[in-house]
Amino acid sequence: MSMERTLNHHTTRRKVKVLVAKIGLDGHDRGAKVIARALRDAGFEVVYTGLRQTVEQVVAAAIQEDVDIIGVNQHEGSHIYIARKLVEKLREYGADDIPVVMGGSIPVVDVDVLKSIGVKEVFLPGTPIREIVDKLMKLAEERRRTGRV
C-alpha cells in the first residue's frame, strides 16, 4: 500500500491530522521538522507549533485544529514532566481522546513510565519513518472508529 494512503474508505476520506509540538525550552527542532515533512510526504496533514510552546498552547491548538494525534518532540530531558502535564491538561479540557505520542532523545528506561502516564507510543532515535506512519495510522483509525484510544 502506498505511503499516501488515508484511513480506510469505510471511516472517512479526511487525512489524518497530526499536531507536531515542541514544548518547553527545548530549542532543537530539526527532528520535529524532519518528522513533520515525512508525515506530510506520507499523506498526513501536519500542524507544527514551532518552538517553546506551553502545554496549554499545544492543547488549545490541538482542540482548535481538531487533530487526530499530538506528537511531542523532546530533547532536553523534561519528557516525563511534560507528558504528565499534557495528559492532565487534555483531560481537563475533555480532549483526552486525542492520543499523545512522543519522540526524540528519550532514554529507553523512560518508555514504560511514559506509557503508564498515557503516552500511546514512544519513538526513539532511529525509528524507521514507515513504523511511525503505520503506528500513527493505527492510532488515528482506532480513535475514529471508537471515539477513544
In the chain, where are the structural domains located?
Answer: 17-146
Per-residue CA distances from 49 to 5, 9, 55, 72 (Å): 24, 30, 11, 10
pTM above 0.85, yes or no: yes
What pLDDT sits at residue 146?
A: 85
**pLDDT, tens only, 50-84:** 999 999 999 999 999 999 999 999 988 999 999 99
Set of cell numbers at residue 72: 511531542
Kindly give, in sequence order, each residue whose CB lies less than 8 Å from that of residue 114, ignoring residues fewer than 6 positions away: 79, 80, 83, 102, 106, 122
Distance from chain centroid for Cα 98: 9
CB 120 within 8 A of CB 142: no
CATH superfamily of 17-146: Cobalamin-binding domain (3.40.50.280)
